[in-house]
Structure 1
Amino acid sequence: MTINGNITVRVACELAAAEGIVREWYLDSARPPKGTWGIGVTNDSGHLVDRYKDKPTSIERVLQIYIWLLRTNYVPAVLAAFKGRVLTEAQLAAALSFQYNTGAIGETAWVSLFLAGKVAEARKFLETHYLNNGDLKQRRLDEAALFFDGKWKHLDGIVNVYPVSKPSYLPGKPVRVDIRADVAAALAAQ
């Protein structure tokens, strides 16, 4: 199925499940830690997240901002990187996941290798780079399986929703939530 940049419920849920949801401001795992909210959103995105410190929001609000950011920041970067190539739904989801996590879709070698028809080399590069000292190895493998094989990992729409532990402001033990209906509503509203 080709979708040419259209975000589907499945695409949005796949990426959200890879990221998780935190409904209030927290400190991420970066060094140094950065104030974050929602689905990995920081002030750098253009949406000011400091307003959510000690003020949890609804999952619906998180998803509204998430869909807005995908449409305005991430999908255009992915489409530009693939230079007018029509992507399948799975390829878009995998490339969005990579871009959302790394911000490097426009400069990474795996995309240029893929565009040059060097598919095996592109896959190997994706699977072995941007691993954050191994912490992101499984994510890169999942993205490669999705992009090159069409193998979805999160078809059930179930996402980890984390509370914020205080005073550390680190994510706590998650609960699992089906967000498909809320994603569909957020997509329809924008």
Structure 2
Amino acid sequence: MTQPLLSERTLLEIAEHEGLVLKAYKDSVGVLTWGFGVTDVSGHKVGRYDTANGGSRSSIERAVEVFEWLLRTKYLPQVIAAFRGRALTEAQLTAALSFHWNTGAIGQADWVQSFLLGRRERAWSEFMNWSKPKEIISRRKAERALFFDGRWSGDGVVMIYDRVNPKEPRNPVWSTGREIDIKDEVRAALRKAGSAR
């Protein structure tokens, strides 16, 4: 089976769930994070963007390029493997990628196994087993609606947070959030990767 290509719509949908921070910060559990939720475990060293420790702020273009690259090279193959080569719609693939980007657990997700066994209602219910912390519940519901009902929630506009508290707990200053359109950057990243469709 040929690996499906990432679409502009896929990247924009997942990016909107994440938001964008151009400096490394500590997430809700203290993990150094950057860009669209990237951590060292994601496969890209984020300390280089830690301005509190000598790193430098990245550009939006760089954040989008790394996001696309990680989705395409690391997360997409794992999602395809979890679904055992079963063809997914663009909406299903996007929802599964978003879930995996956030949890890293597509291979262990009970809802995936139920879906593969044809137990749609059970899979729909089990999708919400992955709803901790409680701040993630709205995202999980949106992913579930996309996977099972094809309802997209993104519009290509993401929240960017320009300021990070330089002292502990080193999290973004959430009140500085503003909306930006990243469609041009996403198209450029897809062209560069040769995966635009």
| Runs of 4+ that moved beyond 4 A | none
| 8 Å Cα contact 1:5-1:87 kept in structure 2 | no
- Give CA deviations for 1:87-124 in whole Å, capped at 9, x if unaligned: 11100110001000111100111001001111011001
CA-to-partner distance for each residue in 1:136-161, whole Å, 9 max, x for gaps?
1111111110000000001x200011
> Contact 1:109/1:125 (CA < 8 Å) preserved in 2?
yes
Structure with the larger helix share: 2
1:49-72 CA-to-partner distances (Å, cap 9, x unmatched) read 101111111100001100110011
Cα 1:35–1:96 change in 2 (3 A) is same
- Structure 2 counterpart of 1:7, one-letter code: L
5+ residue gaps, structure 2, are none
1:17 and 2:55 are equivalent in the alignment: no
SS in 2 for 1:62: helix
Q: Which residue of 2 aligns with 1:134?
A: 134
- Is 1:56 the counterpart of 2:53? The answer is no
Identify the residue that residue 8 of structure 1 maps to in structure 2: 7
SS in 2 for 1:135: helix
Give the deviation of 1:4 after TM superposition. 5.5
Q: Percent identity among equivalent residues? A: 45
- Which stretch of the first structure deviates more once superposed, 160-169 or 86-95? 160-169
Of 168, 189, 192 in structure 2, the residue corresponding to residue 189 of structure 1 is 192
1:165 shift after superposition? 2.5
Partner of 2:103: 102
For the residue of structure 2 that corresponds to 1:79, the secondary structure is helix
Is 1:4–1:87's contact at 8 Å kept on the other side of the alignment?
no
SS in 2 for 1:161: strand
Alpha-carbon distance between aligned partners in 2 of 1:110 and 1:4, rounded to the nearest angstrom: 22
Please give the secondary structure, in 2, of the residue aligned with 1:151. Answer: coil
> Do 1:4 and 1:86's aligned partners in 2 also have CA atoms closer than 8 Å?
no
What letter corresponds to residue 120 of structure 2 in structure 1? V
